[in-house]
Structure 1
C-alpha cells in the first residue's frame, strides 16, 4: 500500500499530524460512477497531500488576481513568456472567461503595440466586445501583428539603405497615373551678406579683398634694374667695393675738385 512506503515528512505527516478521523476519511473515500459507488482513496490522499504541503488546493484566487494585475510584457521579446504565464494563471480563476481579464492581457503589452492590437479588434466600431473573442484569438492576432511589425521595420531599413532606387521606382509607378512626386531637395535661396553697418556687401568688393590678401602673401621679387654704386655711379659693384673714390681721395687735389670727380 502507498502509505506503508511513506518516509520523512510524509510519514511524519501521516503518523503524527493527521487525526484518526482524518486518516479514516482518506482511506474510505468513495465516488459515484455510472450509479455505482467506487473507492476513491488514492485521489483523496493526493489532494490532501497537496492541500497540506503546497496549499494549491485551497482558494488562491486572490493571490492569482494580484499577480495578474502586476504582470507586464515590457518588450515583445518576452511575449511568449507573458502569454504562457498569463494563460496558466488566469485559467485557475472562476471568472477566467470574463472580458476584464481578456482586456487586461492586451493592456499588459507594450503601449504602442497594445494600441495597434486594439485598433484591429475595434475595426470600424468605437469599442471592443471581448465576449466575441477567445484567448486563442487574442494570441493569434498578437502574433500576426507582431510579424507584420517586424516586416515593416525591415522594409524601412531597406528603404533607408537604398533611398534613390526606391524613389526612382516610386516615381515610375506614379508617372503611370500622372502624379508628381514632390522633390525633397531644398530650394537654394541667395542671401546677401551684410557688413557691420547692415548694408549689403557687393561681390566685387569681396573679390578685391581676396586679391589683396593673396598679393600680400607673395614673396619679395627682385627688381630687374641692375644695382649701381652710389659713390661712383657705375654699374657692376656696390659702394663698399668701390675703389675709384678711394683713389681720388688719395690724390693731392682741392676738395671741391674731388667732389666734382
Structure 2
C-alpha cells in the first residue's frame, strides 16, 4: 500500500492519492472503511494536515500546513489491523538474542537475518549488538575473531564503538579464508 501511495503521489495531489487508495480497498479494508469507521473518523483522515517549517530564500522560518491524508490513512489502518508495534519489537529482540550461526556455510544467511532483524530495533546502534553478532558465530571462529582483534589493537581491547559490521564481516571472512588455506 505504501508503494502504491508513493507512486500515486508522484503525479497526483495528496487528496487524490488518498481517494484512489480508498477506492482500491477490497475485502477487510473495504468493510473496515465502509462499516466500522464513522463519518467523523473518515473526515478526520480526509482533512488531516501537518505543520512543516519552511525556509524559502530567507533566513526566517515560516510555518505552513501541508495535507497529510495519506500518512493519516496508513497510520489509522496500521493501528486498527496491527495494533501496537511494541510487541513486534520485543519479538524481534528475542529472535535476535537467540540467533546463532552453527556452521560457517550458513554465514551469509546469519549475517543477512541478523542485519534485517537488527534494523527493526531502536537500539540498533548499540555496541552490544556487535558483540552479539560475533558471539553468534561458531565458537572457534568467534574465538579467533577476538584473538585477531585484540592482537591488532594497541591496548589489547576491542574498540566496538569504532568497529563497523563491515569490519567485523571482513575480519570473519579473512579468518575463514586463512583456515581454508
Q: Which TM-score applies when normalising by structure 2?
A: 0.73
Larger radius of gyration: 1
User: In structure 2, what is the equivalent of residue 138 of structure 1?
Assistant: 168
Which residue of 17, 29, 33 corresponds with 1:10?
29
User: In structure 1, what is the equivalent of residue 11 of structure 2?
Assistant: none
Give per-residue Cα distances to partners, 1:82-138, cap 9 Å, x unaligned.
111111111121211111111000000000011111122222544322111122222
* Shift of residue 16, structure 1, vs aligned partner: 2.3
User: In structure 2, what is the equivalent of residue 93 of structure 1?
Assistant: 121
Cα distance in 2, alignment partners of residues 85 and 102 from structure 1: 14
The alignment partner of 1:97 has SS state of coil
Spell out the pairing of 1:209-228 with structure 2 (5 A cutoff): none
* Shift of residue 54, structure 1, vs aligned partner: 4.3
* Shift of residue 53, structure 1, vs aligned partner: 3.2
Q: List runs of 5+ in structure 1 lacking aligned partners.
A: 152-261
Cα distance in 1, alignment partners of residues 49 and 128 from structure 2: 39
The alignment partner of 2:66 has SS state of strand
The alignment partner of 1:46 has SS state of helix
Cα distance in 2, alignment partners of residues 149 and 11 from structure 1: 59
Give per-residue Cα distances to partners, 1:25-44, cap 9 Å, x unaligned.
32222223423221111122
Spell out the pairing of 1:146-165 with structure 2 (5 A cutoff): 146-151=176-181
Q: List runs of 5+ in structure 2 lacking aligned partners.
A: 1-18, 55-62
The total of aligned residue pairs comes to 150
Are 1:30 and 2:37 an aligned pair? no
Higher relative contact order (CA 8 A, sep 6+): 2
User: In structure 2, what is the equivalent of residue 129 of structure 1?
Assistant: 159
Are 1:58 and 2:85 an aligned pair? yes
User: In structure 2, what is the equivalent of residue 69 of structure 1?
Assistant: 97
Give per-residue Cα distances to partners, 1:32-70, cap 9 Å, x unaligned.
342322111112222333343345x72232111101011
Q: Which TM-score applies when normalising by structure 1?
A: 0.52
Q: CA RMSD in A?
A: 2.0
Are 1:106 and 2:134 an aligned pair? yes
